[in-house]
C-alpha cells in the first residue's frame, strides 16, 4: 500500500511523527523561519549535533535526533535560493525531497513531515515548489509500503490551498 500523502496547516515543531524535515542553510548552524523554530523547540543539543555534520550541500540531506521535539529525528535539507528558475533550482529542490526520503528510509522512519522548502526567505514561487514537492514524493512513495505517512506541513492558509489542489489532482486517490 502506498504512503498516505496529505497537506495540513500546522507548526511543524509540534508534530508527533518519526521525522520532521528542516529547511536549513548550508552551514546547518541555524537560521530564521522554520529552521529557527525547529532549533528553539529542539533545544541547544540540536545545534551541537548539527556542528558535527560540518554543513550540507544544496539538495542534500543529513539527519540528527529530534532532542526535545515530539519528532524522533530531524532531517536537515538545504533548498535552492530562487534566481528565476534557470539555475538548476527545480532539480535541486526535487533533490531535497529525494534525499530526505532516502535518509528517512535508511533510518527506518515511517512517518515524515516536510515544510514548504525554499518558499520562505529563499523566494521559490509556492505553486512551482509545491508541484515539485508533491510530484517528487508521490513518484517515490507510490510503490512502497515502508513509508506510511507523508505530511506537507504548511504555515499559511494560502500555501495549504496550493498543496491541497495539487494533491487532489494526483491519480489513484
Which residues form the catalytic set?
35
> CB neighbours of 78 closer than 8 A, spacing ≥ 6?
23, 24, 25, 26, 28, 56, 57, 58, 59, 60, 96
- Binding residues for ligand ADP, rule CB under 6 A, total 20
Helix, strand, coil percentages, rounded to 5, for the chain: 40, 20, 40
Touching ligand ADP, residues 117-136 (CB under 6 A): 117-122
Touching ligand ADP, residues 37-56 (CB under 6 A): 37
Please report whether residue 138 would count as binding ligand ADP according to CB under 6 A: no
Question: Of 3, 12, 49, 166, which lies in the binding site for ligand ADP, with binding defined by CB under 6 A?
Answer: 12
Q: Which of 61, 62, 36, 65 is nearest to 48 (CA)?
A: 65
Q: And the C-alpha cell for 150? A: 507523508
Please report whether residue 59 would count as binding ligand ADP according to CB under 6 A: no
> CB neighbours of 81 closer than 8 A, spacing ≥ 6?
89, 118, 122, 123
> CB neighbours of 84 closer than 8 A, spacing ≥ 6?
none
Nearer to ligand ADP, 34 or 49 (CB): 34
The region of 32-40, 43-51, 65-73, 104-112 touching ligand ADP under the rule CB under 6 A is 32-40
Q: Give the whole-angstrom CA distance, residue 31 versus residue 38.
A: 10
Give the nearest distance from C-beta 40 to ligand ADP in angstroms. 9
Give the nearest distance from C-beta 72 to ligand ADP in angstroms. 17
Nearer to ligand ADP, 81 or 140 (CB): 81
Q: For binding to ligand ADP (CB under 6 A), which residues are involved?
A: 11-13, 23, 33-35, 37, 79, 115-122, 153, 155, 159
Amino acid at each position: 500500500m502506498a504512503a498516505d500523502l496529505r497537506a495540513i496547516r500546522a507548526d511543524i515543531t509540534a508534530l508527533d511523527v518519526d521525522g520532521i524535515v528542516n529547511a536549513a542553510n548550508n552551514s546547518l548552524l541555524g537560521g530564521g523561519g522554520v529552521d529557527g523554530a525547529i532549533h528553539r523547540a529542539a533545544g541547544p543539543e540540536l545545534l551541537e549535533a548539527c556542528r558535527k555534520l560540518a554543513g550540507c550541500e544544496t539538495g542534500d540531506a543529513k539527519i540528527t535526533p529530534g532532542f526535545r521535539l515530539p519528532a524522533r529525528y530531524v532531517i536537515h535539507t538545504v533548498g535552492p535560493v530562487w534566481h528565476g528558475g534557470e539555475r538548476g533550482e527545480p532539480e535541486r529542490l526535487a533533490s531535497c525531497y529525494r534525499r530526505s526520503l532516502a535518509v528517512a528510509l535508511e533510518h527506518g522512519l515511517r512517518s515524515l513531515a516536510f515544510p514548504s522548502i525554499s518558499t520562505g526567505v529563499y523566494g521559490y514561487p509556492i505553486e512551482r515548489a509545491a508541484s515539485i514537492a508533491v510530484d517528487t514524493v508521490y513518484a517515490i512513495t507510490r510503490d512502497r509500503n515502508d513509508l506510511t505517512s507523508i505530511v506537507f506541513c504548511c504555515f499559511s492558509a494560502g500555501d495549504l490551498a496550493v498543496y491541497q489542489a495539487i494533491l487532489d489532482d494526483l491519480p489513484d486517490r
